[in-house]
Structure 1
Amino acid sequence: MQDLVKKFENLTIQSDFIFKKVMSRKRICIHLLEELLQIKIADINYLEAEKSLEPDYTSRGIRLDIIVEDDNNTHYNLEMQVKNNRNPHTKAFVLPKRSRYYQALLDIDLLQQGQEYDQLPPTYVIFICVFDFFDEGNYVYTFKKRCLENLELELPDEATTMLLNTKGTHGDISKDIKSFYDYVNNHIVTTDFTKQIDDEISYLKLDTKVRREFMLMEARLLDERREGIAEGEAIGFAKGKDIGIAEGEAMGITKGETNANIATAKRLLSIGLSVQDIAKATTLPIEQVEALKADQA
């Protein structure tokens, strides 16, 4: 328990948990979007608060996204991305396909049954990365669809993906966005905006309800992980008598990860996610997730 207390006390804006709590403050979230996009936003509405049980607003694994709608019906998905992960099997970076998946989830939920396609609102999927995915040094990488035969032609689908690079060195960003980058990277307060963020984090860490929420979440995830790894290692060591200890340990770790994914799948099924979304989130076969769902019925 002491380890969890220390972990909570050391949380920064890079933590998914703290990031969502901070961005749940309207004044902070609005200012970040205004400074990033150089627009004016009168108000925002937090959609995930209204749709906490909707699968389309529960992202892969335990990611804690911010999904908001502004007064012009533009929708934003904000996520803190700390690690530039690769698929352990294909070795491919997962961020590009993750952005595609997030955009799909937004669109599926935003277009109600019977509505025409042109009623889809403008969307922004924004990843705040503490690494430079493209190694180009840009502060921001903004993507829209363009015609390869004529790059001046843009497909007007109003879907935008932005990768913010907090380690960037050049580009056109505002003073407050630069200060936000510095705060994310090094916990340096240089403007009133980052002071607001820092004060909010300090307040959150004094809130016993917030502390309890974090510790319960971490304890559940840790238990699931330990159970999966322990079972997998036991199987691996048992088989190691015949195939060698090293290979047995490797099998154990693999089995443990699988069991952890199964535990996660069961938890996501309990809150109503679809079989397809859970399969994508856990990398389990759809047939296995369907079997888990049948067992819970």
Structure 2
Amino acid sequence: MQNLATKFENLTIQSDFIFKKVMSRKRICIHLLEELLQIKIADISYFEAEKSLEPDYASRGIRLDIIVADDKNTHYNLEMQVNNIKNPDTKNYVLPKRTRYYQALMDIDLLQKGQEYDLLPPSFVIFICVFDFFAKGNYVYTFKKRCLEDLELELPDEATTMILNTKGSHGNISKDIKSFYDYVNNHIINSDFTKQIDDEISYLKLDTKVRREFMLLEARLLDERREGRADEKVSIAKLMLAKGCYSLQEIIELTGLSIDDIEKLKNDMHVEKQA
């Protein structure tokens, strides 16, 4: 396994960490949005990168990569997606429902308590995917709500979801978006725009503060993974204890927990049962 220093040096635009840093540069983020949507943007304001949205204690919080608002108060959420993830339980791909959830939580966050619904600003959820989710070959898949009985009738909720396919082969995109795709896919620099991005990444990798931030982030993620594995071991041990057909030694061997840990679990389960 490569050490963190080597991992940092090998980071590309496909990395969430680098993508957030690069898109935190106004000139790059604005140009990407202008070229993608074929609009003019005078300025953008940033909400914090990797913004956490947790509407209440019972909801599933999310971390958004980049959220910006332009000078016309249109809001954009930009996400880099490297893996086409499946739910291991249902075997369903999670991307479509993920975009729906991101849009919903953005709307909750954007609408102040007590405000009228019509004050919700226009919004775009944009997923930059290094895979073709729909296998149609399009460079871009843009979704809005339409009436099934009259496909010309669009629901004017001003919410748009865009799935970008960097592996696409057809459709109408600008030269700079195509060059951005080439850069994301194969690190090919064939435009001033991708030269700016590549230079920015080079500067980031020379910045000791950015390096330190990456190291701390990786350490935090490692701790979270370890905690997740520990929780999984405890859950398995509880299940084995509840079944009552496993010996103490079998539970130790299968979970890796200590005798003291398992005895504590037994006592806790007994107390819960008596309560």
| TM-score bracket, shorter-length normalisation | 0.7 to 0.9
Flag the structure with larger Rg: 2
**Residues 82 and 131, structure 2, Cα contact 8 Å, conserved in 1:** yes
**Residues 52 and 63, structure 2, Cα contact 8 Å, conserved in 1:** no
Deviation by residue 1:100-127 (Cα, 9 ceiling, x = unmatched): 0110111111111222111111000000
Q: CA deviation at 1:63?
A: 4.7
Gaps of 5+ in 2: 258-275
The residue that corresponds to 2:137 in the other structure is 137
Distance (Å, rounded) in 2 between the aligned partners of 1:141 and 1:77: 16
Query: Measured at CA, do residues 141 and 243 of structure 1 come closer, stay the same or move farther in structure 2, by a change above 3 Å?
Result: farther
Gaps of 5+ in 1: 256-297
Query: What fraction of aligned residue pairs are identical, expressed as a percent?
Result: 78
Query: SS of the counterpart of 2:136?
Result: coil
Matched, 1:55 2:75: no
Query: Measured at CA, do residues 156 and 4 of structure 1 come closer, stay the same or move farther in structure 2, by a change above 3 Å?
Result: same
Q: Which moved more, 1:174-183 or 1:226-235?
A: 226-235
The residue that corresponds to 2:107 in the other structure is 107
Matched, 1:128 2:128: yes
**Residues 43 and 71, structure 2, Cα contact 8 Å, conserved in 1:** yes
Q: CA deviation at 1:40?
A: 0.1
Distance (Å, rounded) in 1 between the aligned partners of 2:113 and 2:233: 47
Query: Measured at CA, do residues 243 and 68 of structure 1 come closer, stay the same or move farther in structure 2, by a change above 3 Å?
Result: same
Given residue 219 of structure 1, which amino acid in structure 2 is its aligned partner? A
Query: Measured at CA, do residues 45 and 231 of structure 1 come closer, stay the same or move farther in structure 2, by a change above 3 Å?
Result: closer
Distance (Å, rounded) in 2 between the aligned partners of 1:61 and 1:248: 33
Q: Which moved more, 1:4-13 or 1:63-72?
A: 63-72
Q: CA deviation at 1:248?
A: 7.8
**Residues 42 and 71, structure 2, Cα contact 8 Å, conserved in 1:** yes
**Residues 75 and 121, structure 1, Cα contact 8 Å, conserved in 2:** yes
**Residues 86 and 92, structure 1, Cα contact 8 Å, conserved in 2:** yes
Matched, 1:11 2:11: yes
Distance (Å, rounded) in 2 between the aligned partners of 1:164 and 1:195: 21
Matches within 5 A, 1:207-246: 207-229=207-229, 232=232
Query: SS of the counterpart of 1:171?
Result: coil
Distance (Å, rounded) in 1 between the aligned partners of 2:37 and 2:31: 10
Deviation by residue 1:121-162 (Cα, 9 ceiling, x = unmatched): 100000000000000000000000000001010001100000
Query: SS of the counterpart of 1:73?
Result: coil
Matches within 5 A, 1:1-297: 3-48=3-48, 55=54, 63-229=63-229, 232=232, 252=255
Runs of 4+ off more than 3 Å: 51-56, 59-64, 230-239
Q: How many residues align?
A: 248
Distance (Å, rounded) in 2 between the aligned partners of 1:216 and 1:104: 31
Query: Measured at CA, do residues 8 and 225 of structure 1 come closer, stay the same or move farther in structure 2, by a change above 3 Å?
Result: same
Distance (Å, rounded) in 2 between the aligned partners of 1:61 and 1:115: 23
Given residue 189 of structure 1, which amino acid in structure 2 is its aligned partner? I
RMSD: 3.1
TM-score, normalisation: structure 2: 0.81
Richer in helix (by share): 1
Q: CA deviation at 1:60?
A: 7.2
Q: CA deviation at 1:230?
A: 5.4
